């Protein structure tokens, strides 16, 4: 891993990093990845993973849900006529 | 004067019902303690301004003859659990002024019982850490030695209970965040079976690992809070019911993975204390058996791949668009970059990048894919070993609470989770109970023993943990 990889990850994660922090994270990543790399040693010849998934769909019935609309809309960083306002995307 | 030091949830219930003191008097006693000690300990980030009003409502119910286990009992709530109309920040700058628009299911259940919420407690930011040193609002100090960390991430909730600033508390546990601080501060902390307690209204970190768990002075009180919050919930599709897992019959056999316990990195004082605890359990009629699990030593590596992967996904929602901090840039992308850069603290940024890395094309199979398979292998090994034993015992943490600022590199802090992450990976319930003290630099520091039980067998934890707790 090098500083370019850190910059790429930061861009993918939409996080702005300072130059000092990039170097710090690079060294942290080396030590953490160095540790978790031991996962390579796990023998997985013909393991079939059993995720234990079960279906938890429920009936499509309308039921009242208690939440405060005012508290939600009141926390919009930017709003107009009670709608969430965002910058243009295209 | 109410003797808070010897008060438990059980004894408080009896005294409230017998009108020895009122819920208002009890709440006031805690508010007085908080006023005296919270400045130094930093257990609470906020004390609610309506505590006495809540207690008054409880008194009204008590005077009508109502009696529920937690009616009028003052509790502390970790700052990652939503209470409608109150601030919840996950100890992060990005949610500094966020107000919860609804109640978490656990809060709805506690409100029905008439519990009194004293305030919200400090945590590592987004529950990421083992010491509360990662909080954006300062470290929580260990009441046994204020130069040392309380443990984390539920350090605030645990210190609130340990220092008599609350009678019980809720924490959350993704890799040991309830159990490790409980061990560092000499009280009981428990992580239920995955899915046993609804997470509706819990700010998410690692969704296949996260659990809400109770914190209290002893096993009996812990069970009372657990009983109040558990149960299937239509608002959380991952919750289980009583039939999901078979109830095992107790064999009075405890399994110990001695290889791991005697491994390097475990403090000699921790080993000695643990051996003594196992001897005590033998005297109580339990058989202690050596067990060996092939992939147990991989647990921490599995955890530090799966957790950041899930956390990086969960935390992508904090982008300054709908709520929380918003930093304005020239365009939407710049809004994101500035908001996340300024709003997230160091450890959170580190884990998001780590998670993004292990999920990225080219590394996915080697890290995340491999960890998912290893996790499955470990689950099967656990199922096999639980055929012969009731619970697995280990120390809760490999060392005592460290000094604030002592551990500067992240990996050395991660290693504190070596015994606790396994229960989250496998999804089994686990409890940490106090096992005595060791003297370090003139201070008596608490130690803890952890027990893990099969899926759905919380009863076994309270049974065995309660016995050790009473020695």
A39, B302: Cβ pair inside 8 Å? yes
Round to whole Å and give the CA distance between B304 and B421.
9
B74-78 and B168-173 as β-strands: parallel, antiparallel, unpaired?
Answer: parallel
Mean pLDDT of chain B: 97
Round to whole Å and give the CA distance between A87 and B340.
17
* pLDDT, average across residues B190-204: 98
Task: Provide DSSP, B244-307.
Answer: SSPPPPP--EEEE-HHHHTSTTS-HHHHHHHHHHHHHHHHTT-EEEE---TTGGGHHHHHHHHH
Q: Supply the pLDDT for residue B149.
A: 98
Round to whole Å and give the CA distance between B324 and B315.
13
For the record, the structure tokens of B273 come out as 């204390």
Beta strands per DSSP E along B325-369: none
Judged by DSSP in three states, B72 sits in coil
pLDDT confidence bin for B52, thresholds 50/70/90? very high
Q: Supply the pLDDT for residue B153.
A: 97
Chain B residues within 8 A of A38 when measuring between CB atoms: 298, 301
B333, A21: Cβ pair inside 8 Å? no
pLDDT confidence bin for A88, thresholds 50/70/90? confident
Q: Supply the pLDDT for residue A47.
A: 67
pLDDT confidence bin for B241, thresholds 50/70/90? very high
Interface of B with A in 237-296 (CB under 8 A): 237-238, 295
Q: Supply the pLDDT for residue B469.
A: 79
Task: Clarify whether B131 is annotated catalytic.
Answer: no
pLDDT over threshold 90, residue A44: no
Helix (H), strand (E), coil (C) string for B199-210: CCCECCCCCCCC
pLDDT over threshold 90, residue B221: yes
Q: Supply the pLDDT for residue B181.
A: 98
- Interchain contact B361–A (C-beta under 8 A): no
Lowest mean pLDDT among B138-142, B149-153, B467-471: B467-471
Chain B residues within 8 A of A88 when measuring between CB atoms: 332
A39, B340: Cβ pair inside 8 Å? no
Boundaries of every domain in chain B:
4-229
pLDDT per residue as tens digits for the range B259-312: 999 998 999 999 999 999 999 999 999 999 999 999 999 999 999 999 999 999
Chain A residues within 8 A of B340 when measuring between CB atoms: 13-16
Interface of B with A in 150-209 (CB under 8 A): none
* pLDDT, average across residues B75-82: 98
H/E stretch holding B423:
helix B421-426
Q: Supply the pLDDT for residue A50.
A: 67
Q: Supply the pLDDT for residue A15.
A: 96
Cβ pair B430, B457 in contact under 8 A: no
Judged by DSSP in three states, B186 sits in coil
A35, B411: Cβ pair inside 8 Å? yes
Chain B: closest CA distance from residue A82 (Å): 12
ipTM beyond 0.90?
Answer: yes
Nearest-by-CA chain B residue for A10: B353
Q: Supply the pLDDT for residue B141.
A: 98
Round to whole Å and give the CA distance between B153 and B92.
13
Nearest-by-CA chain B residue for A59: B234
Share of chain B above pLDDT 90, in %: 97
- Interchain contact B68–A (C-beta under 8 A): no
* pLDDT, average across residues B432-452: 97
Round to whole Å and give the CA distance between A41 and A38.
6
Round to whole Å and give the CA distance between B77 and B268.
35
Interface of B with A in 215-234 (CB under 8 A): 234
For the record, the structure tokens of B457 come out as 């067998």
Cβ pair B66, B50 in contact under 8 A: no
pLDDT confidence bin for B19, thresholds 50/70/90? very high
pLDDT per residue as tens digits for the range B309-336: 999 999 999 999 999 999 999 999 999 9
Task: Clarify whether B153 is annotated catalytic.
Answer: yes
Select the residue of A38, A50, A86 nearest B298 (Cβ to Cβ): A38
- Interchain contact B103–A (C-beta under 8 A): yes
- Residues B212, B216, B222, B224, CA torsion sign: negative
B295, A42: Cβ pair inside 8 Å? yes
Determine the topology of domain B4-229 in CATH: Amidase signature (AS) enzymes (3.90.1300)
Beta strands per DSSP E along B301-383: none
CATH assignment, A1-42: 1.10.20
pLDDT confidence bin for A70, thresholds 50/70/90? confident
B354, A14: Cβ pair inside 8 Å? no
Round to whole Å and give the CA distance between A88 and B466.
59
pLDDT confidence bin for A58, thresholds 50/70/90? confident
């Amino acid at each position: 891993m090098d500083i370019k990889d850190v910059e790429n990850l930061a861009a993918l994660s939409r996080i702005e990093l300072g130059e000092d922090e990039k170097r710090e994270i690079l060294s942290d990543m080396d030590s953490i990845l160095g540790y978790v790399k031991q996962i390579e040693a796990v023998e997985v010849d013909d393991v079939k993973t059993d995720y234990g998934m079960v279906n938890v769909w429920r009936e499509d019935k309308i039921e009242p849900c208690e939440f405060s609309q005012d508290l939600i809309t009141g926390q919009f960083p930017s709003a107009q006529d009670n709608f969430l306002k965002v910058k243009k995307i295209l | 004067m109410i003797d808070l030091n010897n008060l438990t949830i059980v004894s408080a219930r009896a005294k409230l019902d017998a009108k020895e003191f009122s819920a208002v008097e009890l709440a006031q006693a805690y508010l007085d303690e908080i006023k005296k000690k919270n400045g130094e300990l930093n257990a609470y980030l906020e004390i609610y301004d309506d505590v006495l009003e809540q207690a008054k409502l409880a008194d009204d119910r008590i005077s009508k003859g109502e009696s529920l286990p937690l009616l009028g009992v003052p509790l502390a709530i970790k700052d990652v659990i939503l209470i409608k109309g109150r601030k919840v920040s996950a100890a992060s700058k990005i949610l500094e002024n966020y107000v919860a628009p609804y109640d978490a299911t656990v809060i709805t259940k506690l409100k029905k019982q008439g519990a009194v919420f004293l305030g919200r407690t400090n945590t590592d930011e987004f529950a990421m850490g083992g010491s509360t040193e990662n909080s954006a609002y300062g470290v929580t100090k260990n009441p046994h030695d204020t130069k040392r960390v309380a443990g984390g991430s539920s350090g605030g909730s645990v210190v609130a209970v340990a220092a008599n600033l609350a009678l019980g508390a809720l924490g959350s546990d993704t890799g040991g965040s309830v159990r490790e601080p409980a061990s560092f501060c000499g009280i009981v902390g428990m992580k239920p079976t995955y899915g046993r307690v609804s997470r509706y209204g819990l700010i998410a970190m690692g969704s296949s690992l996260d659990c809400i768990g109770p914190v209290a002075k002893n096993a009996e009180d812990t069970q009372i809070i657990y009983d109040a919050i558990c149960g299937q919930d239509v608002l959380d599709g991952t919750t289980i019911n009583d039939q999901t897992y078979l109830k095992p019959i107790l064999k009075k056999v405890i399994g110990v993975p001695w290889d791991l316990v005697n491994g390097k990195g475990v403090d000699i004082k921790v080993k000695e204390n643990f051996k003594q605890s196992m001897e005590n359990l033998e005297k109580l009629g339990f058989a202690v058996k050596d067990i060996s699990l092939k992939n147990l030593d991989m647990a921490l590596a599995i955890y530090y791949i799966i957790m950041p992967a899930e956390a990086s996904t969960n935390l992508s929602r904090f982008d300054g668009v709908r709520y929380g901090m918003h930093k304005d840039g020239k365009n939407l992308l710049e809004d994101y970059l500035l908001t996340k850069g300024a709003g997230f603290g160091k450890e959170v940024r580190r884990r998001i990048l780590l998670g993004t890395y292990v999920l990225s094309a080219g590394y996915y199979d080697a890290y995340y894919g491999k960890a998912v398979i290893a996790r499955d292998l470990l689950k099967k090994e656990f199922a096999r070993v639980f055929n012969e034993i009731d619970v697995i015992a280990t120390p809760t943490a490999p060392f005592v609470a460290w000094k604030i600022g002592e551990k500067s590199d992240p990996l050395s802090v991660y290693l504190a989770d070596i015994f606790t992450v396994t229960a989250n990976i496998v999804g089994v319930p686990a409890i940490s109970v106090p096992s005595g003290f060791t003297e370090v630099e003139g201070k008596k520091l608490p130690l803890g023993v952890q027990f893990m039980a099969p899926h759905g067998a919380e009863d076994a934890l309270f049974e065995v943990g309660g016995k050790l707790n009473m020695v």
